[in-house]
């Protein structure tokens, strides 16, 4: 029995999606150029452009191509399709960026934070920063995607305070704070999860990227991990997967202890805080093996990381582990951890991240753009 043929409506929707996909990536094209890039016939593109124009998504710019032959009409998306917001709630402050359907950052706003911060401070700062970015953007805000440096409850999108968390002291719910400022959905997830998604998009199969199997261990002022299996970030039933700070590992003199306690035992916590003293770790890395005391402390830290790696490598079997964060991605530390990983029964490839510039915000920005484009596609199909 032959499979059923797709309906004419479905074929038209697919053609429209292809045409929009071309114009998302490369604005201001002729019908012939769109047909070439989309792999569609000129008549099919012509019909699609007609439907999308009637739907108020595509417009004739009034410009024409020059040169020999018949002049071509320049087509583009209409300028008021709205924007998406990518928002970062991080120890260094709150940042919001508005991106248009072409992926261009068209406005932004930032404000610093005093650490450790509390929910009442963020309840004032977060909506203000987002409102400023939205007010400067050309069009309505269709979606907001939030990256937060704390665990995020999977059902509600609320930030969850865990013991010894160095950033937010208390619980916070970004969704009700931002919903009045956004026409559509507000999506919230942990910053390391967004960094892992950005890494997945930026790398190929040899780096665990398109293969969809990697772990992202974040080593900075905070400690976290994201595990990607079959291209999907594993969030856990409550969104608390990857919280490795309290994972039991090997401490000084071979004694077992939680990861965060081992960091404290090595004298690498900030004074009066549970945060890792990144400046101290970087000084040790600069001293390197030329300083016996520095080398011993770094080996102790690398052994603790090896214990963490051994736990989730045994459970999730990633193709590669990405070591992110200010000191985690330092070449000297990656090399040191790699030496200790050689002694593991099940070894795993290690590498620094491909995305280094605000990776969590980059991941949130990618998802915000994807959701904005999908809003345009589904909106055009509804007409």
Where along the chain do its domains lie? 8-77, 83-191+359-381, 204-351
What's the CATH code, domain 8-77?
1.10.10.10
Decide if pLDDT at 70 tops 80: no
| CB proximity list for 121: less than 8 A, separation 6 or greater | 113, 114
Strands 93-99 and 83-90: antiparallel
Per the prediction, the chain carries an average pLDDT of 91
Q: What is the pLDDT of residue 208?
A: 54
* Stretch 254-258: mean pLDDT: 93
Q: What is the pLDDT of residue 312?
A: 86
Task: Categorize the per-residue pLDDT at 131 as very low, low, confident or very high, splitting at 50, 70 and 90.
Answer: very high
Instruction: Look at residues 118, 79, 83, 90 and name the one whose alpha carbon lies nearest to residue 104.
Output: 83
Instruction: List, for residues 276-332, the tens digit of each pLDDT value.
Output: 999 999 999 999 999 999 999 999 999 999 999 999 889 889 999 999 999 999 999
Helix (H) or strand (E) holding 339: helix 331-341
Q: What is the pLDDT of residue 235?
A: 93
* Stretch 5-22: mean pLDDT: 89
Q: What is the pLDDT of residue 209?
A: 52
> What distance in Å separates the CA atoms of residue 60 and residue 78, rounded to the nearest whole number?
9
Structure tokens at 209: 């990227």
Task: Categorize the per-residue pLDDT at 164 as very low, low, confident or very high, splitting at 50, 70 and 90.
Answer: confident
Q: What is the pLDDT of residue 346?
A: 85
266: exposed, middle or buried (Cβ count in 10 Å: 0-12, 13-18, 19+): buried
* Whole-prediction pTM: 0.91
Decide if pLDDT at 72 tops 80: no
Q: Which CATH number fits domain 83-191+359-381: 3.30.420.40, 3.30.1320.10, 2.60.120.10, 3.40.50.1000?
A: 3.30.420.40
* Stretch 368-377: mean pLDDT: 96
* Stretch 344-357: mean pLDDT: 91
Task: Categorize the per-residue pLDDT at 2 as very low, low, confident or very high, splitting at 50, 70 and 90.
Answer: low
Asked whether the beta carbons of 292 and 181 are under 8 A apart, the reply is no
CB atoms within 10 A of CB 350: 17
- Cα 129 from chain centroid (whole Å): 19
Strongest mean pLDDT among 62-76, 200-214, 227-241: 227-241
Question: Residues of the chain with pLDDT > 70: what percent?
Answer: 95
Question: For 207-258, where are the E strands, in sequence order?
Answer: 214-219, 223-229, 232-233, 248-250, 256-258
CATH class of 204-351: alpha beta
Task: Categorize the per-residue pLDDT at 167 as very low, low, confident or very high, splitting at 50, 70 and 90.
Answer: confident
* Stretch 58-75: mean pLDDT: 76
- Cα 276 from chain centroid (whole Å): 23
Of the two residues 368 and 381, the one the predictor is more confident about is 368
Strand partners, 29: 75
Strands 320-324 and 349-351: parallel
Asked whether the beta carbons of 171 and 119 are under 8 A apart, the reply is yes
Question: Residues of the chain with pLDDT > 90: what percent?
Answer: 74
The CA-atom distances, in angstroms, between 337 and each of 60, 105, 119, 301, 352 are 57, 37, 36, 9, 11
Instruction: List, for residues 172-192, the tens digit of each pLDDT value.
Output: 899 999 999 999 999 999 999
| CB proximity list for 140: less than 8 A, separation 6 or greater | 82, 83, 183
Domain pair 8-77 / 204-351, same fold: no
Asked whether the beta carbons of 61 and 30 are under 8 A apart, the reply is no
Asked whether the beta carbons of 199 and 364 are under 8 A apart, the reply is no
| CB proximity list for 116: less than 8 A, separation 6 or greater | 166, 167, 168, 169, 273
């Amino acid at each position: 029995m032959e499979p059923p043929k797709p309906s004419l409506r479905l074929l038209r929707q697919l053609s429209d999606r292809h045409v929009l996909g071309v114009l998302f990536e490369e604005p201001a094209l002729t019908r012939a150029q769109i047909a070439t890039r989309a792999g569609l016939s000129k008549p099919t593109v012509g019909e699609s452009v007609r439907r999308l124009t009637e739907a108020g998504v595509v417009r004739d710019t009034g410009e024409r191509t020059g040169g020999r032959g018949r002049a071509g009409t320049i087509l583009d998306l209409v300028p008021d399709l709205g924007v998406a917001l990518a928002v970062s709630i991080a120890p260094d402050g709150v940042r919001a960026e508005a991106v248009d359907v072409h992926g261009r950052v068209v406005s932004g706003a930032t404000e610093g934070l005093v650490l450790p911060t509390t929910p009442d401070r963020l309840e004032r700062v977060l909506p203000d920063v987002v409102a400023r970015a939205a007010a400067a953007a050309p069009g309505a805000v269709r979606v907001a995607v939030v990256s937060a440096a704390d665990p995020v409850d999977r059902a509600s999108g609320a930030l969850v305070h865990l013991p010894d968390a160095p950033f937010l002291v208390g619980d916070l719910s970004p969704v009700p704070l931002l919903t009045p400022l956004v026409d559509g959905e507000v999506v919230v997830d942990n910053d390391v999860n967004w960094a892992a998604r950005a890494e997945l998009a930026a790398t190929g199969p040899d780096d665990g990227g398109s293969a969809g199997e990697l772990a992202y261990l974040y080593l900075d002022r905070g400690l976290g991990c994201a595990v990607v299996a079959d291209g999907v970030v594993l969030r856990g039933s409550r969104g608390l997967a990857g919280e490795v700070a309290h994972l039991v590992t090997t401490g000084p003199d071979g004694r077992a202890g939680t990861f965060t306690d081992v960091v404290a035992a090595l004298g690498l916590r900030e004074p009066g805080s549970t945060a890792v003293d990144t400046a101290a770790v970087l000084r040790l890395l600069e001293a390197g093996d030329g300083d016996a005391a520095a080398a011993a402390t770094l080996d102790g830290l690398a052994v603790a990381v090896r214990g963490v790696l051994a736990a989730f490598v045994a459970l999730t079997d990633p193709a590669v582990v990405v070591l992110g964060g200010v000191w985690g991605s330092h070449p000297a530390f990656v090399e040191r951890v790699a030496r200790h990983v050689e002694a593991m029964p099940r070894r795993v490839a290690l590498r620094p991240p491909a995305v280094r510039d605000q990776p969590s915000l980059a991941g949130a920005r990618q998802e915000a753009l994807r959701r904005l484009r999908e809003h345009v596609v589904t909106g055009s199909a509804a007409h």
